[in-house]
Amino acid sequence: MRSMGLDVGSKTVGVALSDELGWTAQGLETIRISEEEKEFGFDQLGKIIKEYDVSTIVVGLPKNMNGTIGPRGEASQFFAGELERLFGLPVVLWDERLTTMAAERVLLEADVSRKKRKKVIDKMAASMILQGYLDSRK
């Protein structure tokens, strides 16, 4: 049984999966969504959940630096609630402060072009969110 990590934005959802033992997280894909048009990618996420036998979903919760929850955090909470309702799996909200910036820094240090960074940043952030959760369980 695997865990799935999600970095939820207004236009994309980065997806990462754990290995079957729950030790490591790997970025899988980035799903295009549209909050405005209420298209959240749940069909694609359902396929991933089924194909990889996902047992737990970890959703990044972007908190403000002072620990409060702003509009993006509220959107992540809504998304997590919908996942729980649709798929009946446990959903964990995981503090993701600075995760995207950390992913950006890693990609910059690896000298990845701006165009390529844009394609992988969300699934890399999802991987960092999921790895943080996996590490906390040990």
What domains are there in the chain, each with its CATH number? Answer: 2-137 (3.30.420.140)
Residue range 18-75, pLDDT digits in tens: 999 999 999 999 999 998 888 999 999 999 999 999 999 999 999 887 888 988 999 9
Rounded Cα gap, residues 105 and 90, in angstroms: 31
Cα distances from 131 to residues 34, 38, 71, in angstroms, run 26, 29, 25
Would the CA dihedral through 91, 92, 95, 96 be positive or negative?
negative
Are the C-beta atoms of residues 56 and 4 closer than 8 Å to each other?
yes
Q: Is the pTM of this model over 0.95?
A: no
